[in-house]
Structure 1
Amino acid sequence: MSDTRELFEVRDWDAAGRIGRLDVPRAGVTVETPALLPVVNPHIQTIPPRELAEEFSAEILITNSYVLHGSEDLREDVLERGLHAFLDFPGAIMTDSGSFQLAEYGEIDVTNEEILEFQRRIGSDVATPVDLPTPPGVSRERAEGELGTTQRRLEDAAAFDADEMLVSAPVQGSTYPDLRERAGRHAAGVGLDVFPVGAVVPLMNEYRFGEVVDVVAAAKRGLGPAAPVHLFGAGHPMMFALAVAMGCDLFDSAAYAIYARDGRYLTVRGTEHLADLDYFPCACPVCVEHTPEEIRESDERERLLSEHNLHVTFREIRTIKGAIRDGELLELVEARARGHPAMLDGYRALLEHADQLERTDPASKGTFFYLSGESARRPEVRRHHDRLARLSPPETVLLTEDGWNEGDGGDGEIGDGAYDAHDERWSIVPPFGPVPPELAETYPLSAEVPERTDDRAYEAAATSVARLVEANPGTEWTLAHRAWPDSALARVPGRVEVVRLGSSEGVEDSDAE
C-alpha cells in the first residue's frame, strides 16, 4: 500500500468538493476525480468496456471479482488472460469482493484473504476486502459488532502483500454518526488507499438523501480531507453534485444498465419511464437521433437507453467539474435540489454541516448568488459572521442598506447631516450583514442578491449585527433599514439605534430596540 497523500492530489476546491488526481500505479494511469466507475457485469455487457473508454471517456470501471471467482465459465479465462485483456479495457479497473452478495444473501463462500489473493492474481488495480455492509436502522449493538469485524478485515488487508495493487478500506457503521466517524478514523489509519462509504444504497433507494449526507459527513470527519472517498452504489446523476459537495470523489453506477433494462430514462431531476415520454428533454446522440416511440419499438431499446443513461451521467460529472473550477458548486447543488423534495432535504442537511464545509471552501471565488433562504446558511456566510470579530470599528458607525456613497439612497433619509455624524458608514448586505467599505468588492460580499429577498436573509444579517455589536461594546451603532421583518429586528441588540428608511422627508420610523 502507498501513502494516500502521494496517490491523491487535490487541484481545486469548492465547499468540500474537489477536482483531484488519483494515481493508480498498477494500471499506469491517473484518474481525474470526480469520476464515474461504470459497473460491468462479467456475464452480460450491454455496452462493451472498450466502448466505455472510447465513446464515453471512462477512465476507470468496476466489476465483481466474487462473480468471476465463482464462475466456472469465467474463472480460468480471467486468471489466464488477466482482467484487462479479459474485459478489453485500457483504463483502471476496480473490483468488488462479494460484500454486496453478502448483504443480499447473508453468506458467501470465500474468505477475505482468498478474494484479495484472487483480485491480485487477475490483475485488479483497486481491490476490495470483504467488509460487512450494515444496513440502516439496525441496533447499535449489531452495528458495533459488524464494524469490529470489518475493521479486523481491513487490518488483515493492510498486511496483505498487494504489490502495486491499491486496496480500498470501506467505512461502515450504519446510520450512527459516531460509529461512521470512528470507522473513518480507523480506515485512514490502517494504511490502505481508497475509502468507500458503504451500505448507503438502501438510503438512496428510499430517497433518504439527508441521511446519506449525514453518513458521509461523519465518515469524512474521521477520514480527514486528504482521503479519496468512494460513495458505494451511488449511480443516479441527480445526487452527484450533492455528494461531491460533501467530499465524495468516486461513484460506481450500475443504474445506467439496470434502469435501461426496466425501460427507465435517467435525468438530473429524476427518472422517467420511456413509456410516458413523447419528447426527449436531452441533446445526447441517442435522443437527437431517435424519438421515444422509435426506441420503444426498437430491438435495441435496452442498449439505446443504456447509452443515453451513460451520456447524461457522464455529462453531469463534467458539469460538476466545471462548477468546481468556476466556484459555483453550491449554486449547482441548489439548482439540482429544486428538482425533487428529497434532494432539497439533502441540500438542507448539507448546510447543517456548513462549519465542516468551510474548512476547505476557498476564501475567494466568482460571484456569490443568493438563490433562496438556504443560501443564508452557506459556508461563505458562516465565514463572514465568524470573522466579524476581527474588525476594528471606530467610536460611531452607521449601518445602512443605502450603500457607501453618500446620496445613493437619497440625502436626508435619516436626517440632515446624519451621514457626517458617524465616524464611518458601513453597508448592510443580507445575508452577510455589516460590510466595511474596504471589503465591498471582495468575495463573497459583492454578492448578487434579489431585490425581493426573503426573511431568512435579513435574519442572518441581523444575527451578524448582533455578533459585531457584542464584540465591540465601546462603539455606538445606528442601523438604517428598509422594512426589515420583525423576526430580523428582534435579533438586533437593544443598544443599537434603529431607524427605518423610506421617506424623502426624513425618518419614517425610529425605534430604539
Structure 2
Amino acid sequence: MMFEFRVQAVCPETGARAGELVTPHGIIETPVFMPVGTRATVKAMSPREMEEIEAQIVLSNTYHLYLRPGVELIEKAGGLHRFMNWHRPILTDSGGFQVFSLSGINRIKEDGVEFSSHLDGSRHFMTPELATRVQEGLGSDIAMCFDQCVELPCDEETARKSVERTLRWARRCKEVHRRDDQALFGIVQGALFDDLRKDCARELIAMDFPGYSIGGLSVGESHDEMYRILDLLNPILPQEKPRYLMGVGFPTNLVEGVARGVDMFDCVLPTRNGRNGTLLTSRGKFNIKHSRFEEDWGPIDPDCDCYACREFSKAYIRHLYRSGEMLGARLCSWHNLRYLISLMKGAREAILEGRFPQFRDRFHELFSTGKVL
C-alpha cells in the first residue's frame, strides 16, 4: 500500500500510541518529531546531517514554495524530494497559517483568500484547489487541506465561521486531490470551544481522510487549554489513523501530546532557539551565551549523543556565539533537533515496552529541575 498506519502498542493508562506510518518514501516510526524545512531546507542543516540525527520526515511549506521558487520549477526538478536531495518522507503544510499570519490580507472570500506576498507585495489568490494542486506538484508524501486559521483569543462566532469554512474547503480539497501516492489530511479547527472542536472532528471523520491534523493550538493558549482540547479529541479521532498536532515543539508539550494519543509533531522552535543560543536538554533549557559557561568544559547535555555534545564544550560554543561564528548556531540547532527526535524515540520505546507512565514521570522530574549539568 502507498499509505498505511499501523498501531503497534497503546499505553492503557494514557492512550499513548506507538505505530508505523507507511509512505512512498519510507516507514515513519511514531510518535515522531518532524523538523521544519519551510523553504525546502531545515535551517543550518544539510540533508546528510538530518539523516545523521535520524530525522525520519521533514516538513516544507506550500505558501513559501509557491512564492519562491514556484511549483513549476520544482516540478521541472523532478519534485521536492529531488530538488532538496531528501530521500525520506516529506509533509507539506497547505500554507493556510502563513496566508493569515505573514501576508497582508485584503479579503477572505468563499472561494479563497486574496493576499499580498510578504516578499514583494504582489497580489495572489489562494484557494483550496490551488493549495492542493501546488502540494501535488511538490510531490510530498503527506499534504494538508487548506483551512482558515483564527487568532486566540477569539469569540465563539468567529471560531464557528472558521470551522464552517474549513469544512467546506476540506471537501473541495478532497474533491480535487488526485495523487494516490500522497495522503491528504484534514485539519481540526475550533479554537478553544469544545463543541466546535468536536463538530469539526466528526465532520472531517465523515469525509474519511487518511489522517487528521489538529490545528489552531500553540498560538498563545495555556498548556492546560491545549491539553484540554487534546483530551477532548483523543476519544473522537479514529484510533486506526494518524494524528498530527501542528506547530508544537516544546518538550513538555510533546510528551503530554503523546500521552493524549498524538503521533506526529512539528515546530520551528529547535532551530529558531538554536539560532539565538537557547538549548533544550534533558534537564531543562538554558542560553549558552550566559557568562557562567565561559569556563564550562562539559557538553551541552551529557545524556545526548549528538555531534555537538560528543565533540564540543559549552565554553567553546559560547565562544562561537560571542565571536559571531555561524558554527555556534549550527551546533545548537543540531543539538536541539537531535534532542527532540531522541525524546520521541524514547517515548516510542517506552510505549512498546509498557513503561510509558514511568517515562513520562521521569521526563518531568528531570526537565523541570532546570539544572544544567
TM norm. shorter chain > 0.5: yes
Q: CA deviation at 1:114?
A: 0.7
Identical-pair percentage? 26
Find the counterpart in structure 2 of residue 427 from structure 1: none
Find the counterpart in structure 2 of residue 157 from structure 1: 173
Find the counterpart in structure 1 of residue 203 from structure 2: 186
SS of the residue 2:208 aligns to: coil
Moved over 6 A (4+): none
Find the counterpart in structure 2 of residue 209 from structure 1: 223
Structure 2's unaligned 5+ residue stretches are 106-114, 116-123, 369-373
Contact kept, 8 Å, 2:242 with 2:263, in 1: the verdict is yes
1:237 paired residue among 217, 226, 251: 251
Greater relative contact order (Cα 8 A, min sep 6): structure 1 or 2? 2
SS of the residue 2:133 aligns to: helix
SS of the residue 1:297 aligns to: helix
Distance (Å, rounded) in 1 between the aligned partners of 2:329 and 2:367: 26
Give the total of aligned pairs: 332
- With normalisation by structure 2, the TM-score equals 0.83
Contact kept, 8 Å, 2:189 with 2:200, in 1: the verdict is yes
SS of the residue 1:167 aligns to: strand
Residue 327 (1) aligns with residue 321 (2): no
What pairs with 1:285-434 in structure 2 (closer than 5 Å)? 285-298=307-320, 299=325, 300-338=327-365
What pairs with 1:10-89 in structure 2 (closer than 5 Å)? 10-14=7-11, 15-24=14-23, 27-42=24-39, 45-53=43-51, 55-71=52-68, 73=69, 75-81=71-77, 82-89=79-86
Distance (Å, rounded) in 2 between the aligned partners of 1:292 and 1:340: 19
Find the counterpart in structure 2 of residue 172 from structure 1: 189
Contact kept, 8 Å, 2:71 with 2:134, in 1: the verdict is no
- With normalisation by structure 1, the TM-score equals 0.61
Find the counterpart in structure 1 of residue 271 from structure 2: 257
Q: CA deviation at 1:248?
A: 0.2
Contact kept, 8 Å, 2:128 with 2:145, in 1: the verdict is yes
Q: Which amino acid letter does the alignment assign opposite residue 64 of structure 2?
A: V
Distance (Å, rounded) in 2 between the aligned partners of 1:218 and 1:135: 20
Distance (Å, rounded) in 2 between the aligned partners of 1:245 and 1:136: 24
Contact kept, 8 Å, 1:37 with 1:252, in 2: the verdict is yes
Q: 1:149 to 1:256 in 2, by over 3 A?
A: same
Q: Which amino acid letter does the alignment assign opposite residue 228 of structure 2?
A: D
Q: CA deviation at 1:28?
A: 4.1
Q: Name which one, 1 or 2, has greater alpha-carbon Rg.
A: 1
Distance (Å, rounded) in 1 between the aligned partners of 2:279 and 2:214: 27
Structure 1's unaligned 5+ residue stretches are 342-513
Q: 1:9 to 1:43 in 2, by over 3 A?
A: closer
Q: CA deviation at 1:255?
A: 1.5
Find the counterpart in structure 2 of residue 274 from structure 1: 288
> What do the CA deviations read for 1:117-141 (whole angstroms, capped 9, x no partner)?
0111121211112211223321111
Distance (Å, rounded) in 1 between the aligned partners of 2:341 and 2:90: 17
Instruction: Give the RMSD, CA atoms, in angstroms.
Output: 2.2
Contact kept, 8 Å, 1:264 with 1:272, in 2: the verdict is yes
Distance (Å, rounded) in 2 between the aligned partners of 1:218 and 1:266: 29
> What do the CA deviations read for 1:80-103 (whole angstroms, capped 9, x no partner)?
111110111111111112122133
Distance (Å, rounded) in 1 between the aligned partners of 2:46 and 2:75: 20
- Residue range with higher mean Cα deviation, 277-286 or 164-173: 277-286
Q: CA deviation at 1:78?
A: 1.1
1:197 paired residue among 214, 217, 224: 214
